[in-house]
Chain A
């Protein structure tokens, strides 16, 4: 009897310790990045592009990377959204057989887990095939491939939960499938669509491996789709790789900017989804 109680206590202690370790690690990451980043973060970092000799410690900032990241991820979000919505709609029971829907879900789940470097490599193959050089467009192609499965799968799950009766009311009034999809399904799924898009945006903006060879890096803000584009994750990566301490400090500041954007997107998507879901019928 005593031994069983003892085992229970010991294991429970181990569990709490494990959970504490995981939470502590997260807190440690955020603490270190905020602390080191805040020290190096200035308005100049946010609003200026690199001046001459920036990578030797001269003045300037990472505005090129901030704008580049927003262009890349914004562009990829639009592309993925335009593709993800129809795909998610097409998996409804009115359109697809059960086995087709199941197969597509499996394919999307597998794509979701694909390492981003593989998307980078495949994006590179597409670019060679199209004769493109490292550019904003190339980066958008690779990022869209990465974000599409995330967005589609998240949306499709929301659409799947819409009560059947709601759709049946629309059909009984003589609406076609398309009309029902646009007027009932899209309206009901809107909070989920917004959350899914922001989830994918947060994943996309932090990804470095997929845009490493496809978007390139530059000290300027891109002016067309065919210009190379800088990005925040790569700014962190390149700046920490230099031996000069002043430049490494800037890597911390860039990381803090990136972290703040990602956390803001995550929190905002939660708030928005709470707010929108007030208007859905359950």
Chain B
């Protein structure tokens, strides 16, 4: 008899410990990365590092500005392509499509979310980069095709499943009565979407977009493969650019031979963690609130 209770007690304690461990992973990651990036932060102020344009690790100059601009710009381009397309698609799936089509396409979108990023990158190299090069040449720009624009297109495809599925979920959570009331008053379906659904689920839709933004911001391999990786602030969408995650991935090999280089890369990882984690925190808190209301 005693043994059963003892087992129950021990199991509950160890399960609790595992859960507390899971909760502390994020904090451990922040601590670990901060610990490794301290040597650099001790020499230069964070503000200087973030706003300096010169990236010359061999002479100890670590300016993150070009990488930050590259990351933000490629993410914004991706969002310009992805947001309208994904929102329209999600509205169609939620409000117009018959049930079977909705379920079928949900499967397709899940499938799309599961494709490894290196395959998106390879598709980018085979199809998108040459297309961008041809468009650029037709417009009279000299470009290799490895550019912000190519990165933006690939990222748009990669974040589409997230934005569509979260938006779809949010729209499905709107009570049927809200739709029916509006339709009964004689509005068309689109008017119902515009005036009732989008107003009702604005926070949720914004969260979906934020989750997509965060995903694009931290994407590494696909961006690394199609953006050209030149550490300069890009001036047009046909210019090559370099993103923060690509910077980390591309330089791990030389880290050990150059002083402070590993510190700089770990600082880049810390910046990514804080930015992406912050966006996720805000989006999920909003989505929980919607879930509770529904």
Contacts and interface: CB of A to CB of B under 8 A. Distances in A.
Contact of B32 (A117, A126, A179): A126
Interface string A230-245: 0001101100100000
Interface residues of A, number: 85
B197 interface: no
Interface string B73-101: 00000000000111011011100100000
Contacts of A22: 85-86, 89, 109, 112, 157, 160, 164
Contacts of A23: 105, 108
Contacts of B135: none
B46 interface: no
A236 B118 contact: yes
A113 B214 contact: yes
B203 interface: no
A114 B273 contact: yes
Contact of B284 (A106, A125, A129, A252): A106
A33 B122 contact: yes
Interface in B3-59: 4-5, 7-8, 11-12, 14-16, 18-19, 21-23, 25-26, 29, 32-33, 35-36
A203 B188 contact: no
A158 interface: no
B114 to A, nearest CB: 5
A115 interface: yes
A72 interface: no
B196 interface: no
Contact of B8 (A145, A176, A234): A176
B215 A113 contact: yes
B214 A111 contact: no
Nearest to A180: B8
B32 A208 contact: no
Interface residues of B, number: 82
B111 A266 contact: yes
Given A29-B115, A103-B23, A121 B248 contact: yes
B280 A87 contact: no
Contact of A106 (B16, B126, B249, B285): B285
Given A125-B266, A258-B119, A148 B22 contact: yes
Contacts of A28: 123, 127
A26 B161 CA distance: 10
20 contacts: A5-B188, A16-B92, A23-B108, A29-B115, A29-B119, A29-B120, A32-B127, A104-B22, A109-B280, A113-B214, A117-B245, A122-B29, A128-B36, A129-B32, A145-B25, A202-B114, A203-B114, A206-B117, A207-B116, A262-B115
Given A22-B89, A121-B266, 5 more contacts: A8-B189, A114-B276, A117-B269, A118-B269, A176-B8
